[in-house]
A and B are shown apart, each in its own frame.
Chain A
Amino acid sequence: KQEVTQIPAALSVPEGENLVLNCSFTDSAIYNLQWFRQDPGKGLTSLLLIQSSQREQTSGRLNASLDKSSGRSTLYIAASQPGDSATYLCAASIGGSNYKLTFGKGTLLTVNP
């Protein structure tokens, strides 16, 4: 069974802190991995897409890495702000599918002013 696991389930940090969210997946045959942000009662906003041939992607204060051999991805958020408070979802195309995303349950991030 293909699985994506995210730890921690919840994280609370003071404003300005750098933080790392973790994601692990069970299949090294990965096509891509995508990080999303979900605000309460809202849809998903794509943050970063990492192809299997890439090791990392950066956008502004966000940096995502991919290590296929260990089955892990991390999302690094620099200089966190209260507006970063949301649920962060990791999703991977694994298990022989290049279109079906397997999602983790997310990390609920709270950045306190």
Chain B
Amino acid sequence: NAGVMQNPRHLVRRRGQEARLRCSPMKGHSHVYWYRQLPEEGLKFMVYLQKENIIDESGMPKERFSAEFPKEGPSILRIQQVVRGDSAAYFCASSPLRAADYGYTFGSGTRLTVV
């Protein structure tokens, strides 16, 4: 069991470019969550997805950010027209069924740097 796989581990983008972050949940996990860790801040919830459904995107910025978890393939967090303030570590987590019962398993994160 390879755990939660995120790629790339590091991503550098120029201002205005698009960033695509990928997350493959643990085998058997159908729930995916994205969190962002800004420098000197705690992790903040962004979005909760199940296959083909966005359950809660209350933590996502209203513009430029989107997430999906298709029927086949990894979950994608997409940031359009990146700005320097998007520089952060983005973590994906997964859980089987209810996270309240089983807790989270996190990936190693993608560190986005916008130059």
Using a CB–CB cutoff of 8 Å, the interface residues on chain A facing chain B are: 4, 31-32, 34, 36, 41-46, 49, 51, 89, 91, 93, 97-106
Q: Is the CB of B99 within 8 A of A93?
A: yes
Total A-B residue contacts, Cβ distance less than 8 Å: 67
Binding site of B, secondary structure by majority: helix, strand, loop or mixed? strand
Distance between B67 CB and nearest chain A CB, rounded to angstroms? 15
CA distance A49 to B93 in the complex (A): 15
Distance between A102 CB and nearest chain B CB, rounded to angstroms? 8
Distance between B8 CB and nearest chain A CB, rounded to angstroms? 14
Residue in chain A with minimal CB distance to B43: A103
Q: Is the CB of A99 within 8 A of B48?
A: yes
Q: Is B69 close to A, CB under 8 A?
A: no
Binding site of A, secondary structure by majority: helix, strand, loop or mixed? strand
CA distance A102 to B44 in the complex (A): 7
CA distance A31 to B95 in the complex (A): 15
CA distance A4 to B42 in the complex (A): 10
CA distance A98 to B33 in the complex (A): 13
Q: Is the CB of A99 within 8 A of B91?
A: no
Distance between A88 CB and nearest chain B CB, rounded to angstroms? 12
Q: Is the CB of A101 within 8 A of B106?
A: no
CB contact between B45 and one of A41, A44, A89, A100 (< 8 Å): that residue:
A100
- Chain A positions within 8 Å of B44 at CB level: 103
Q: Is B98 close to A, CB under 8 A?
A: yes
Q: Is B65 close to A, CB under 8 A?
A: no
Q: Is the CB of B108 within 8 A of A34?
A: no
With A44-B91, A93-B99, A106-B42: A100-B48 Cβ-Cβ less than 8 Å: yes
Q: Is the CB of B98 within 8 A of A99?
A: yes
CA distance A101 to B91 in the complex (A): 13
Q: Is the CB of B100 within 8 A of A46?
A: no
